[in-house]
Amino acid sequence: MATSTASSALTLAIVLPTLNERDNLAGLVARLEGALGPDGWEAIFVDDNSPDGTADAARDLALNDRRVRVIQRIGRRGLASAAIEGMLSTAAPYVAVMDADHQHDPRLLPQMLASLESGEAEVAVASRFVEGGSAEGLSSARRETGSKLANGLARRLTGVELSDPMSGYFMLPSKTLRATADKLSGIGFKILLDILATADEPYRVREFPLRFAQRASGESKLDRTVVFEYLVGLYDRWLGRVIPTRFALFGTIGAAGVVVHMAILAAFLHTFGGTFHGQVVTPFDVGQTVAALVAMTFNFALNNELTYADKRLRGTAALLAGWLKFGLTCSVGLLANIGVASVLVRYDMSAYLAALAGIVIGSVWNFALSSRFVWGRY
């Protein structure tokens, strides 16, 4: 790419969260130039430390093109938080967020910018579901159905009247974003919905038809947990200041683990005839141990998939290492769980109440250490 000789004032920053998308960058900058002209804009790639060297590829572009900047994030991931960091990093009076995978058409940017500059709208949104738009680029019919379901939930639960409140392609004045940035959750994928829900008064919004294209290459930042992530964002918006969101998720999965634990324990006691007093090791002791181990594995799997989706462990080796770390960090809680429950059952407490007491004792320890040592520092 030729060296930029941009001379006009900076007007628009395009924030592009990336994950393993090095092959998309040069082509996307060229498309931005084709849509916006040679100057007056900058592209800010916010990369979550992609293993494929996306940040280095962006830096290579920036060496010869001052319109390109890169923020490489270490130890944190997530589309919403990446978008917020990128939007706060620019001096441009207007800021847009879009994907770097070529599914979002840059040719909409001038129209969106004109609507904001004229005062017609306070937020411009590219929509797949208005007349002239299309969601054909979604990877499957299931993804498209899930997106429509999430949009319906957004309208019902927040009162946001948009055809596509889950859109990841939008534009607004930078000062609008900065005025509410400290109130944004930064959790999940749907930063637009968070911005709209944060406003004291509803923003004037105009939608532009978007024909959602197939991704060129790279890794999708949306997966089968997209609706779950959206619900997490809603929880964080309404209750996150009362009970921290990750702790609430961890606790909810822990509650599901209680069901698993009790079912395993009941099956074990039914099979081996209940608890016999006076023995060093009773069927209850063994059943409680087995149930605790199974529930721990269940909790690890769901927490990896949901609670820590932005730090999800992938691959057999990483999952096995994570499971071992989870087991080690939870071992003291597990011992407390088994020990407390065993003592209580020997004092004639109901086996199930004793098991529940053991679970409660171990839960806080499990959350604190697993957050730190299995999925990273929070």
Structure tokens at 324: 């071992």
Contact 120, 41 (CB under 8 A): no
How confident is the model over 325-350, as a mean pLDDT?
82
Q: 360 falls in which pLDDT band (50, 70, 90)?
A: confident
Structure tokens at 263: 């079912």
How far is 332 from 337, CA to CA, in rounded Å?
Answer: 8
The candidate with the shortest Cα–Cα distance to 164, out of 113, 110, 108, 120, is 108
> Out of 156-160, 270-274, 275-279, which region has the weakest mean confidence (pLDDT)?
275-279
Residue ranges of the alpha helices (H) in the chain? 25-36, 54-64, 79-88, 109-117, 141-158, 174-180, 191-198, 226-239, 245-272, 283-302, 316-329, 331-346, 351-373
How far is 14 from 370, CA to CA, in rounded Å?
Answer: 36
Looking at residue 214, what is its pLDDT?
Answer: 54
Encode pLDDT of 114-150 as tens digits: 999 999 999 999 998 888 777 665 555 555 565 666 6
What lies within 8 Å, CB to CB, of 100 at 6+ separation is 16, 17, 18, 21, 24, 25, 28, 45, 218
What is the domain partition of the chain in residue ranges? Answer: 12-219, 245-373
Encode pLDDT of 300-326 as tens digits: 999 988 888 767 888 899 899 999 999
Q: 378 falls in which pLDDT band (50, 70, 90)?
A: very low
As a CATH number, domain 12-219 is 3.90.550.10
pTM of the model: 0.71
Q: Give whichever of 42-56, 64-78, 352-366 has the largest mean pLDDT.
A: 42-56
